[in-house]
Structure 1
Amino acid sequence: MEQQTRLRHLAEVEPDQAAVLLALLEVLDWLGCAGGPWRQRLLATWPPASIDSPEALVERLGTVPSGSEQPLAEQLSRLSRRSGRLRSQGEAVLAAARQRFATGWRIARWPDQWTVRPGCPRLVLLWGRHRGPPVPFWTAVFNSRKGKIPDSAAPWLGALRSLLADPLFTPGGWATSSGTLSYDLVASHARATGVPLLLVETDSRAASAPAVPSPGPVGTEHEPILVTCHLGGPACTRPTRMVCRDRMLAALSDRQVALEIRARGNLAQVLAEAQEQTPRPFWIFDSPTETAAAGGNRWLRARFPGANRLIVDPGPADPTADRDPVAAPSEPAGVATAKGLPGDYLYHYTRACPGHWPGQKVQNYHLDLIFNRSDCAHGAFDTLCRILQEERLRAGSRMVRGETAVICWSAHPYAELERFRRWRPGLVRWTVEPWGLAVRKGILRRLGAKPAIYLPPELFSRLRPADRYRYQRHEPPGCIWKQEREWRLAGDLDLTQLQPLEAFVMVPDAVAARELIRRVDCRFPVVAATGEP
């Protein structure tokens, strides 16, 4: 391979030996043998020999390498009982291995000095050939795990936006992985902009061959290069895979950037080991608020005083910022404040949406965050804006028993919000937030809305099937939801069915009302919990 030989530390196995190892992988899958470190040790210690027939395959597998563990011998003893079947099906197994090799799968080895920890992968599968000019360097961005709902103004995200646009890094390619927002953002940006991409994976998601991850579109100039230590069979435990992923990425990258590294965490140690083993250009983000989430940055700076300091840039401007704001009065709607509202409404309080919107492509969500578009944070306010833009309140079933998608409403007046909402530590959120949509109760009744039914779980089966979407678990004192006075409506609500004065939009204050009117062409009155500007 032209480009893969440039990957730091990796040495590609000769084609003949790679074909043998791919054949052995197919047989191990066929036998249902273990995966993870066991399979790594097996293939790394098996001496090369040609396999050109089913008989040679059976004979090859019948030879246990010297020094092998007892579980290896036990698993391979199945061959003595199944050798006849393997002889008859061996040609198909070999054909599958040849096909995998022909479509671009190859095998490479790590040097012995890299695999110093127990369970470290010895071999990796490679896929993809970069078809453009040689990549001068690979840059990897490291960031400790963040929450499911990112703050669009978070310093680390601003630093990443600046980094991805920095001409210092654009001549090279990006080395990244998946499974954390930071890794996914880098991968999506590389795919969207056509920058060379190196992906490191450790499990069997999206397999395009037995237990092998799909690397993406084939044959394009910017086809990604995939490196995976998963050789089939059951994967290692998640904690083991996460450490291996970070170690492989650190070993393969030519340049490294640390955004916010948690103190005394695995990632800080991985970066330190990589720099000490093979020093390379290193940037450490100067976070303006170095809390515990970035305590590892201070430790790394002290350990590597020659590292470059990454200063945050504000990042791309919000593309909606040039719209003329629509002035809103201090009492922003037809009703003075929430305290003056009549009581014949039901209230739907919006929540943040972790990850992409329903129906939105994941890559588009990542690009919204990278380019800091107006609703990229997917907070409760962004959810409300999206509902008004689509003119549809979408039902969901994630928090409801059964498969019926519903919209949840509360009979509590908006003015009572602070009295009835509660912090739920298990869900890491408030039960409701001060954003939402209110619709007249009579209209929702005609559309089929009904009060929730609060019962202990053992009584759920007594409900009529038609009423089960109304069930809400109630087991006092540990589980009490009655204070929300919930109603449920099955299915979506088309807001175009409503007249402008049959509903209103709820926001916490007049400042929020102005921002909502700036973002959305809203035909319903906008009501603030308080009238202060």
Structure 2
Amino acid sequence: MSESSRAPSPQMIAQAFTSHGGEVSRQIGGIGGEATEKGCWTFGLPQLSQQCSERWIGSRMIWWPAGIPKHPQHAIVSSRIRRQREEETIWFGFLRCAVDRIASAKGSVILVPGTAAEKAVRQAAKHWNVATIEYSLVEADAELATAAAAARWAERISGQSHHAQAVLSPELVFAGPTLEAAQPLRDRLLFAAADQITILCSRPGGITAELKNRHLADSERQVVWILQAQQPGSMNVPESAQSGVIPWLVHTAVKDVQSRPPLQSEPIEVGRQVTEQTHRKSKAQTHDVFLRPEAWLLHWTRAIPGPWCGQTEEDWLDELVFNTAAADHSAFATLCRIVRQRTLRASNQGIRGGYRVVSWTAVPLSEFRHRRTWQRHRQRYDFELRGIGVHRSQLIRLGARPVVYGPVEQWNQLAEIDRPWFQKAGPEVRLNTRAEREWRVVGDVDLQRLSTAEICLFVENSEEKQRLQSRTDWPVVVVPPGQS
């Protein structure tokens, strides 16, 4: 085998990188990594042996622009949580306690973009003044086939500025077989780089559970204990401790949730299920939206799994981290927000051409309950049970028009001015969009321009009606029971 085709030794790699102003601090059998003015390089994670690092992240160089951090590195790990984040109050309680522990120990917390808890951990660390160590994986999915390619990559990276404290190279395929792993690199790195691991949530059979088992089976990594957050009484402590996982019983997180003010969407006394009393009351409703349904158009509200329109992600995360009532972005909270702002904000979500519109339906409110179905491909319900109705004549005055349903060819033939009202329909479309009987208004709808008689709010049950009616002079009705 010629020298050019042979995998280069660590000395050859060191020579290649030293010529570009950095240094490879890892040699076989030793770990260095003293910072220079231009940062330093390591072959793999410096706190691990070469073999262990390769088992977890493959053969890679790491560029440390400011040198290798000296503080212990803590990883806060979690399975994915629900899209509606405010429902995860216990999880955020665990997060607060975990970051507080790290702050007390004067440790640092690892950030790997794309991992489940990263954004929330980043925001919490900022408020607890905990140092962060961010690993950049921007180019980590690529490969470097030769030592010369690795040297060119290193020269480019060391000459750039980086907000991250560590930059992983593409895998060095010339250094040995590439690593085949079932779990994403970002999650493997979070486990491998940590001097201490805290698990907030681990779903059975999920990535976190798999990596926990892999960690415990690794002879070098298993000396790093794992703290797994638990509610009191939820697991067998001795059995877990024997496996290398220390149950962390977090009383404070549960206490915080129990003392939190109710979310806007939480019922006062009973659950959200429609009671017989609600059914009886709804039958007696005599609002015009029931007497003349053809005279009204309806807009249902959805839960918002993220920041409000115009709200920064940082502000939203603060609401969640600090467990405030303002974190509630449920469908009922969305409706309360509309009442408060007296404006319906337009959206371009799901609209061909990206036009910003407010959508309405001509389907009567009496049909909402039996039409409400889960649209799996959209991950949401249609015909939600909270929203607002407006007199059709007034919406027409504001520019409302019924949607034009048809194939894509029809869209291509429409004038630009008519395209906001197009909706694809036909045999190839999974959802029967025509059944929605949709209307649209381009742009925001200013509800202050309408009289009280021209607006009607609707909610799921009488408890919500009572709570919402106390906040507005607009009439509130309950969606009637579904018709069999």
Per the TM superposition, whether the score is higher than 0.5 is: yes
Superposed displacement of residue 376, structure 1: 2.0
Aligned partner of 1:492 in structure 2 is 444
1:415 is the counterpart of 2:366: yes
Return closer, same or farther for 1:228/1:412 CA change in 2, 3 Å cut-off: same
Aligned partner of 1:262 in structure 2 is 203
Q: Aligned equivalents of 2:350 and 2:466: distance in 1?
A: 32
Q: Secondary structure at the match of 2:390?
A: strand
Aligned partner of 2:188 in structure 1 is 247
Q: Aligned equivalents of 1:186 and 1:141: distance in 2?
A: 7
Q: Secondary structure at the match of 2:463?
A: helix
Superposed displacement of residue 168, structure 1: 8.0
Q: Secondary structure at the match of 2:185?
A: helix
Does the 8 A contact of 1:211 with 1:231 survive in 2?
no
Superposed displacement of residue 308, structure 1: 2.9
1:228 is the counterpart of 2:195: no
Does the 8 A contact of 1:284 with 1:308 survive in 2?
yes
Superposed displacement of residue 411, structure 1: 1.0
Q: Once structures 1 and 2 are overlaid, which stretch shifts more, 338-347 or 425-434? A: 338-347
Q: Aligned equivalents of 2:404 and 2:434: distance in 1?
A: 9
Residue 246 (structure 2) aligned to one of 298, 307, 321: 307
Identity of aligned residues (%): 25
Aligned partner of 1:511 in structure 2 is 463
Does the 8 A contact of 1:346 with 1:440 survive in 2?
yes
Superposed displacement of residue 148, structure 1: 3.2
Q: Aligned equivalents of 1:42 and 1:201: distance in 2?
A: 26
Q: Aligned equivalents of 2:225 and 2:114: distance in 1?
A: 25
Aligned partner of 1:456 in structure 2 is 407
After TM superposition, the score normalised by the length of structure 2 is 0.72
Return closer, same or farther for 1:44/1:119 CA change in 2, 3 Å cut-off: farther
Give the 5 Å matches for 1:113-192.
113-117=51-55, 120-127=58-65, 135=71, 137-153=72-88, 155-165=90-100, 171-192=106-127
Cα deviation 1:326-345 (Å, max 9, x = unaligned): 99x9879x966798453222
Return closer, same or farther for 1:339/1:405 CA change in 2, 3 Å cut-off: closer
Superposed displacement of residue 307, structure 1: 1.6
Q: Secondary structure at the match of 1:145?
A: coil
Superposed displacement of residue 465, structure 1: 1.8
Superposed displacement of residue 349, structure 1: 0.6
Does the 8 A contact of 1:281 with 1:307 survive in 2?
yes
Residue type at the aligned position of 1:411: A
Residue type at the aligned position of 2:455: A
Residue 15 (structure 2) aligned to one of 39, 48, 52: 48
Q: Aligned equivalents of 1:157 and 1:524: distance in 2?
A: 36
Superposed displacement of residue 455, structure 1: 0.5
Q: Aligned equivalents of 2:104 and 2:268: distance in 1?
A: 40
Superposed displacement of residue 211, structure 1: 7.3
Superposed displacement of residue 380, structure 1: 1.8
Q: Aligned equivalents of 2:432 and 2:11: distance in 1?
A: 57
Superposed displacement of residue 348, structure 1: 0.7
Q: Aligned equivalents of 1:401 and 1:116: distance in 2?
A: 47
Does the 8 A contact of 1:375 with 1:382 survive in 2?
no
Superposed displacement of residue 463, structure 1: 1.9
Q: Aligned equivalents of 2:268 and 2:207: distance in 1?
A: 49
Return closer, same or farther for 1:52/1:255 CA change in 2, 3 Å cut-off: closer
Superposed displacement of residue 437, structure 1: 1.2
1:469 is the counterpart of 2:420: yes
Cα deviation 1:240-264 (Å, max 9, x = unaligned): 7963222222222222112222334
Q: Let me know the Cα RMSD of the aligned residues.
A: 4.3
Aligned partner of 1:21 in structure 2 is none
Return closer, same or farther for 1:360/1:215 CA change in 2, 3 Å cut-off: farther
Does the 8 A contact of 2:79 with 2:207 survive in 1?
no
Residue type at the aligned position of 1:268: A
Return closer, same or farther for 1:373/1:414 CA change in 2, 3 Å cut-off: farther
Residue 309 (structure 2) aligned to one of 358, 371, 381: 358
Q: Aligned equivalents of 2:474 and 2:8: distance in 1?
A: 66
Return closer, same or farther for 1:286/1:194 CA change in 2, 3 Å cut-off: closer
Q: Secondary structure at the match of 1:274?
A: helix
Does the 8 A contact of 1:44 with 1:123 survive in 2?
no
Q: Secondary structure at the match of 2:325?
A: coil
Residue type at the aligned position of 1:120: G
Give the 5 Å matches for 1:352-431.
352-431=303-382
Does the 8 A contact of 1:347 with 1:409 survive in 2?
yes
Return closer, same or farther for 1:303/1:247 CA change in 2, 3 Å cut-off: farther
Does the 8 A contact of 2:79 with 2:116 survive in 1?
no
Does the 8 A contact of 1:176 with 1:200 survive in 2?
yes
Q: Once structures 1 and 2 are overlaid, which stretch shifts more, 453-462 or 163-172? A: 163-172
Gaps of 5+ in 2: 1-6, 22-35, 141-154, 173-177, 270-276
Q: Aligned equivalents of 1:321 and 1:422: distance in 2?
A: 25
Superposed displacement of residue 267, structure 1: 2.8
Superposed displacement of residue 170, structure 1: 6.0
Return closer, same or farther for 1:388/1:166 CA change in 2, 3 Å cut-off: farther
Cα deviation 1:2-58 (Å, max 9, x = unaligned): xxxxxxxxxxxxxxxxxxxxxxxxxxxxxxxxxxxxxx99999524155489xxxxx
Residue type at the aligned position of 1:272: N
Residue type at the aligned position of 2:185: C
1:274 is the counterpart of 2:215: yes
Residue 472 (structure 2) aligned to one of 510, 522, 527: 522
1:107 is the counterpart of 2:30: no
Does the 8 A contact of 2:359 with 2:439 survive in 1?
yes
Q: Secondary structure at the match of 1:504?
A: strand
Count residues in correspondence.
Answer: 414
1:502 is the counterpart of 2:481: no
Aligned partner of 1:285 in structure 2 is 229
Q: Aligned equivalents of 1:528 and 1:289: distance in 2?
A: 41
Return closer, same or farther for 1:321/1:273 CA change in 2, 3 Å cut-off: closer
Superposed displacement of residue 449, structure 1: 0.3
Does the 8 A contact of 1:163 with 1:169 survive in 2?
no
Superposed displacement of residue 159, structure 1: 2.7
Return closer, same or farther for 1:122/1:287 CA change in 2, 3 Å cut-off: same
Residue type at the aligned position of 2:434: K
Q: Secondary structure at the match of 1:175?
A: strand
Return closer, same or farther for 1:201/1:185 CA change in 2, 3 Å cut-off: same
After TM superposition, the score normalised by the length of structure 1 is 0.66
Q: Aligned equivalents of 1:289 and 1:480: distance in 2?
A: 48
Does the 8 A contact of 1:108 with 1:125 survive in 2?
yes
Cα deviation 1:496-519 (Å, max 9, x = unaligned): 22223321222101222344467x
Return closer, same or farther for 1:463/1:284 CA change in 2, 3 Å cut-off: same
Q: Aligned equivalents of 1:181 and 1:514: distance in 2?
A: 38
Q: Aligned equivalents of 2:477 and 2:9: distance in 1?
A: 67
Residue type at the aligned position of 1:346: L
